[in-house]
A and B are shown apart, each in its own frame.
Chain A
Amino acid sequence: MDKILRTENLCKYYGSGENEVRAVQNANIDIQKGEFVAIVGKSGSGKSTLLHMLGGLDTPTSGKVLIRGKDIFSYKEDALAVFRRRKIGFIFQSFNLVSSINVWENIVLPIGLDGRKADEAFVMDIVKTLGLEKKLHNLPNTLSGGQQQRVAIARALASRPDILFADEPTGNLDSRTSDEVIALLKMSVEKYGQTLVMITHDEDIAQIADRILVIEDGKVEELR
Chain B
Amino acid sequence: MKMITKLALSNNKKNKTRSILIMLSIFLTTVLLSAIATFGYGQIKFQSANAEEFYGSYYGSYAGVTEDQIGEMEKRSEFDRIGRAATIGTIENARSISMVWMDNETRDLANLDRQLQEGAFPEQENEIAGQKAMFERIGYPDVKVGDKVNIRFRRNTHETYQEKEFLVSGIMSQTVKEQENQSYTAYVSKACYESLYAPEERAYTIYFSLSDSVDVNSSTLEMTIKDLAEECGINPEYAFDNMYYSMWVLDPGMEMIVGCIVVALIVVFFAVMVIYNIFQVGLIQKIQEYGKIKALGATKKQMKKLVFREGMLLTIISIPAGLIVGTTVSIGFMNSWLSQSTTLGNQDVVQVNMVSIPLLLLCAAASAIAVWAALKRPMKVISRISPVEAIRFQGSQKKNKGLRRGRKQMGVRQLTQANMSMNRKRTITTIISMGLSCVLFVVAANFTGNVSTRYDARKQVPYGQFQIDLTYSKADTAYPENNLDAILKANPLDEELVEQIRKIDAVTDIKIRYMMYAYDQNGNLQSIGVLNKEQFDDEEYQGSLKGEVDYETAAKNGDILYGWSYFIEESGYDLGDTVTMTMGDAGGEARFQGTMTGAFGSSNYDWIITDEAYDQLGLSGKSIGTIWVDCRPQDCTDVQNQLEDLLTDKQHYEFSTYQGALETSESSLGMFETLAYGFLLLVGLIAFMNMANTIIISIITRKRELGVMQALGMTNSQMNSMLRNEGVLFTAGSILVSLLVGMPAGYALFCYGREHGYFGLDVYHIPVIEIAAMIIILTALQISLSFILSRNIKKESIVERIRYQE
Interface residues in chain A, defined as those with a beta carbon under 8 Å from any beta carbon in chain B: 52, 55, 57-59, 77-78, 81-86, 90, 92, 94, 96, 98-102, 104-105, 108-115, 117-118, 120, 136-139, 141-142, 155
Contacts and interface: CB of A to CB of B under 8 A. Distances in A.
B335 to A, nearest CB: 56
B716 A118 contact: no
B406 to A, nearest CB: 4
A37 B354 CA distance: 80
A81 B720 CA distance: 14
Given A108-B410, A113-B412, A142 B799 contact: no
A113 B714 contact: yes
Contacts of A83: 713
Contact of B408 (A120, A142, A155): A120
Contacts of A81: 710, 713-716
Contacts of B408: 104, 108, 118, 120
A78 B719 CA distance: 11
Contacts of A113: 410-412, 709, 712-715, 718
3 closest residue pairs by CB, A with B: A85-B713, A142-B402, A112-B410
B411 A90 contact: no
Contacts of A96: 704-705, 708, 711, 802
Nearest to A123: B408
Interface string B401-430: 011111111111011001101110000000
Most chain A Cβ neighbours within 10 Å, of B406, B412, B712, B715? B712
Contacts of A115: 411
Nearest to A116: B409
A117 B715 CA distance: 17
B705 A99 contact: yes
Given A102-B404, A139-B404, A85 B712 contact: yes
27 contacts: A57-B797, A57-B798, A57-B799, A77-B715, A81-B710, A81-B715, A83-B713, A90-B711, A92-B708, A96-B708, A98-B705, A99-B422, A100-B418, A101-B415, A101-B422, A102-B406, A105-B414, A108-B410, A109-B709, A112-B412, A113-B411, A113-B412, A113-B713, A118-B409, A137-B403, A138-B404, A142-B403
Contacts of A139: 402-404, 422
Contact of B397 (A58, A84, A102, A141): A141
B199 to A, nearest CB: 96
Contacts of B405: 102, 137
Contacts of B712: 84-85, 90, 109-110, 113, 155
Contacts of B409: 108, 112, 117-118
Contacts of B399: 141-142
Contact of B410 (A94, A101, A137, A141): A101
A50 B298 CA distance: 41
Contact of A77 (B404, B716, B718): B716
A100 B395 CA distance: 12
A112 B422 contact: no
A33 to B, nearest CB: 21
Interface string B706-740: 00111111111110000000000000000000000
A84 B713 contact: yes
B711 to A, nearest CB: 6
Contacts of A137: 403-406
A163 to B, nearest CB: 14
Interface string B380-414: 00000000000000010101001111111111101
B645 interface: no
B569 interface: no
A58 B798 contact: yes
A142 B398 CA distance: 10
B178 interface: no
B713 A82 contact: yes
B806 interface: yes
Contacts of A98: 415, 705, 708-709
Most chain A Cβ neighbours within 10 Å, of B406, B709, B718? B406
Contacts of B799: 52, 57-58
Given A102-B403, A105-B414, A78 B717 contact: yes
A84 B711 contact: yes
Nearest to A79: B715
A76 B421 CA distance: 34
Nearest to A103: B406
Interface string B678-712: 00000000000000000000000000110011111
A200 to B, nearest CB: 18
A100 B710 contact: no
Contacts of A92: 708, 802
Most chain A Cβ neighbours within 10 Å, of B407, B713, B802? B713
A36 to B, nearest CB: 22
A82 B713 CA distance: 6
A105 B410 contact: yes
Interface in B63-88: none
A57 to B, nearest CB: 5
A109 B397 contact: no
Most chain A Cβ neighbours within 10 Å, of B403, B407, B410, B715? B410
A77 B718 CA distance: 12
B806 A94 contact: yes
B423 A100 contact: yes
A86 B714 CA distance: 11
A139 B405 CA distance: 10
Given A57-B711, A99-B705, A105 B806 contact: no
A110 B710 CA distance: 10
A94 B711 CA distance: 14
Contacts of B715: 77-78, 81-82, 113
Given A100-B421, A139-B402, A141-B402, 4 more contacts: A77-B716, A101-B415, A110-B712, A117-B409
B402 A109 contact: no
Contacts of B802: 57, 92, 96
B797 to A, nearest CB: 6
A174 to B, nearest CB: 17
B275 to A, nearest CB: 28
A58 B797 contact: yes
Most chain B Cβ neighbours within 10 Å, of A52, A105, A118? A105
A71 to B, nearest CB: 18
A18 to B, nearest CB: 23
A47 to B, nearest CB: 13
A96 B801 CA distance: 11
Given A98-B415, A99-B705, A100-B419, A86 B402 contact: no
Contacts of A94: 806
A141 B402 CA distance: 7
A101 B418 contact: yes
A112 B713 contact: no
